[in-house]
Amino acid sequence: MGTAKKRHSNIAIFIPHMGCPNACSFCNQRVISSTVSAPSAEEVGRTLETACEKLPDGDSEIAFFGGSFTAVDRDYMISLLEAAYPFVRSGKVRGIRCSTRPDCINTEILEILKSYGTTAIELGAQSMDDGVLSANRRGHTAAQVEEASSIIKKYGFELGLQMMIGLYCSTPEKDMETARRIIALAPQTARLYPTVILKNTRLGELFQSGEYVPYELDTAAELCADMLEMFEAAGVRVIKLGLHASETTEADMLGGLYHPAFREIVEGILFRREMEKQIEAKGNYTVFVPANAVSKAAGQRKCNILYFSEKGAEIKICPAKSLQNREIIVKKE
* Domains of the chain, residue spans: 4-260, 279-332
**Which stretch of DSSP H or E encloses residue 284?**
strand 283-290
Quote the CA–CA distance of 60 and 289 in Å, as a whole number.
30
Query: Does domain 279-332 bear CATH number 3.40.1260.20?
Result: yes
2: pLDDT confidence band, cut at 50, 70 and 90?
very low
Q: For residue 5, is pLDDT > 50?
A: no
CA–CA distance, 176 with 171 (Å, rounded to integer): 9
Among the CATH numbers 3.20.20.70, 3.40.50.1010, 2.60.40.420, 1.10.8.50, which is that of 4-260?
3.20.20.70
Alpha-carbon distance of 120 to 5, in angstroms, equals 17
Nearest CA to 83 among 37, 38, 120, 46? Answer: 46
Rounded to the nearest angstrom, the gap between the alpha carbon of residue 79 and the centroid of all alpha carbons in its chain is 27
In this prediction, residue 114 carries a pLDDT of 97
Which of 288, 300, 295 has its CA nearest to residue 259? 300
Residue 30 has pLDDT above 60, yes or no: no
More confident residue, 179 or 251: 179
Cβ neighbors of 158 (< 8 A, separation 6 or more) are 119, 120, 121, 188, 189
In the chain, what percentage of residues exceed pLDDT 90?
Answer: 80
- What pLDDT, in 10s, does the model give residues 81-123? 999 999 999 999 999 999 999 999 999 999 999 999 999 999 9
Q: Are 99 and 162 in contact (CB under 8 A)?
A: yes
Band the pLDDT of 244: cuts 50, 70, 90. confident
- For the chain, how many helices (H) and strands (E)? 12, 12
- Residue 72 CA to residue 150 CA, distance in Å, equals 22
Instruction: Look at residue 83 in the predicted model and tell me its pLDDT.
Output: 97
